[in-house]
Every structure is written in C-alpha cells, then in structure tokens.
Chains A and B, each alone.
Chain A
Amino acid sequence: SQELEQSPQSLIVQEGKNLTINCTSSKTLYGLYWYKQKYGEGLIFLMMLQKGGEEKSHEKITAKLDEKKQQSSLHITASQPSHAGIYLCGAEGLYGNKLVFGAGTILRVKS
C-alpha cells in the first residue's frame, strides 16, 4: 500500500522567512494532495497535483510534484502567523482507492 513520509516533523520559523516541507512516497504518486489542519479540527484542502513536473501556487504557497512522481514539496514564501498549523500530504494509488496521509508537519511561525 502507499506510504508517505513527511519531513521535517516540525519546524519553527521567524515571520517573513521562507520554508519547505517535503513528502516522499514509497510508490508512484497518481494524485498528490496538500491539506492544512488546525489543531483538533478538520483538514482544509490546499492544492492537488497530478502530473509529473506539475507546479501550482496559491497566494504564498507553492507545491510541486517531481518528474518521477514520487516526491512533492510545499514551499511557503514570507511566512506569516496565519500559516501556522499542521501540513499533511495525501495520496491515492493507481486504482483510486485508499486516500492515505503522511504523519504531518507542524509549522509554528514566530512573530
């Protein structure tokens, strides 16, 4: 089954700094999703990537899926306190079943 490893587990950045979160899969990714979660709440959809080499941006957040479709990165430019939370990558396998998630990356932004 698909397994996703996220790094780092957690990070603390100063407001205004850039940061990158990685998501590595044990198998080829056929759909990669990034979600954000506030503690104890549901997941909020950020972006979806499907094609190798694909890159999407929304406001100050950019996500990429590498050409081999086994790794994705999420980059935040000029971080703000509103970016704080848990970032989760999720993926589905070839046959569209079992949307599975990584363990998450906890982001704290110091003002």
Chain B
Amino acid sequence: EAGVAQSPRYKIIEKRQSVAFWCNPISGHATLYWYQQILGQGPKLLIQFQNNGVVDDSQLPKDRFSAERLKGVDSTLKIQPAKLEDSAVYLCASSFRPRTRTMNTEAFFGQGTRLTVV
C-alpha cells in the first residue's frame, strides 16, 4: 500500500514570497490533516478535512494560510506571504475515518516538507 505522498521535500523562500505544498493521502482515506512542526516542538494541527469539508481550522492563520482539498483526495496548503516564523516542517497525514465512540483509527504521516524562510 502506498503511503502519504508530499512534495516538495524541501523549500527555501524569502520572506513575503508565496509557497504551496501538496499532499496525496492514502487511497480511500477520508480524513486528511495538515500539521506544522517547529523545531523542538510537537506537531500543531493547522487544518483537518473530512472528505472535502473542513472539520477544524481553528489554528490556521487564515490571513496568510489557506488549504483546500478538491474532490476529497489531494490537498494543497499555501502560505502567502511567508514570514520568518513560518520556517517549520509541514506534515500531512491521513486516516481511514475519524474516531468513533468505539473505534479509533490511526493516522499515517507523509515525510513532510521542510520550509525555510530567509
């Protein structure tokens, strides 16, 4: 089974530029997550999709970050314009379905995109 694919693996941009990340989840996985992981910290959830609808985006800085999941499969995360503090690893994950009262399901992660803003 193919895993979660992310691209690019690395990206270096200047502040105020724009950048986009792409994620292809595991086939059949309805739930997709984007996380931001700053060096030395745990992953912070930016946005969670269920199919092509947004479940939670409470920690997404909406003035500069946007994400979409057209057709409920691939997803893109965009930053415009980037700031120095956006330097981090951006992780995409997917799971078959969200947790129910009686059954959990683990999330599978991609390799991440390391963004450096200079």
Tell me the A residues contacting B by CB distance below 8 Å. Answer: 4, 6, 30-31, 33, 35, 40-45, 48, 50, 88, 90, 92, 96-104
C-alpha spacing A102/B37, complex, angstroms:
11
C-alpha spacing A10/B26, complex, angstroms:
32
7 closest Cβ contacts across the A-B interface?
Answer: A96-B99, A31-B104, A42-B109, A101-B42, A43-B109, A96-B98, A103-B42
Rounded to whole Å, the gap between the CB of B115 and the closest CB of chain A is 12
Contact of B84 with A by CB under 8 A: no
Contact A99 B48 (CB under 8 A): yes
Task: A90-B107, A97-B98 given; name 4 further pairs at CB < 8 Å.
Answer: A33-B104, A42-B91, A42-B111, A88-B43
Contact A45 B112 (CB under 8 A): no
C-alpha spacing A103/B44, complex, angstroms:
9
Pick the contact of A103 from B41, B106, B112 — CB < 8 Å?
B41
Q: In which size bucket is the chain B interface? A: 20 to 34
Dominant secondary structure of chain B at its interface with chain A:
loop
Contact A43 B43 (CB under 8 A): yes
Tell me the B residues contacting A by CB distance below 8 Å. Answer: 4, 33, 35, 40-45, 48, 55-56, 89, 91, 93, 98-101, 103-104, 106-112, 114
C-alpha spacing A68/B56, complex, angstroms:
27
C-alpha spacing A101/B99, complex, angstroms:
16
Contact A45 B108 (CB under 8 A): yes
Inside 8 A of A97's CB, which chain B residues have their CB? Answer: 48, 55-56, 98
Rounded to whole Å, the gap between the CB of A59 and the closest CB of chain B is 17
C-alpha spacing A98/B47, complex, angstroms:
9
A99-B33, A101-B43 given; A45·B48 CB < 8 A:
no
Contact B41 A100 (CB under 8 A): no
Inside 8 A of B91's CB, which chain A residues have their CB? Answer: 42-43
Rounded to whole Å, the gap between the CB of B77 and the closest CB of chain A is 15
Q: Give 5 A-B contacts (CB < 8 Å), ordered by A residue.
A: A4-B42, A31-B104, A101-B42, A101-B43, A103-B40
A40-B112, A40-B114 given; A99·B89 CB < 8 A:
no
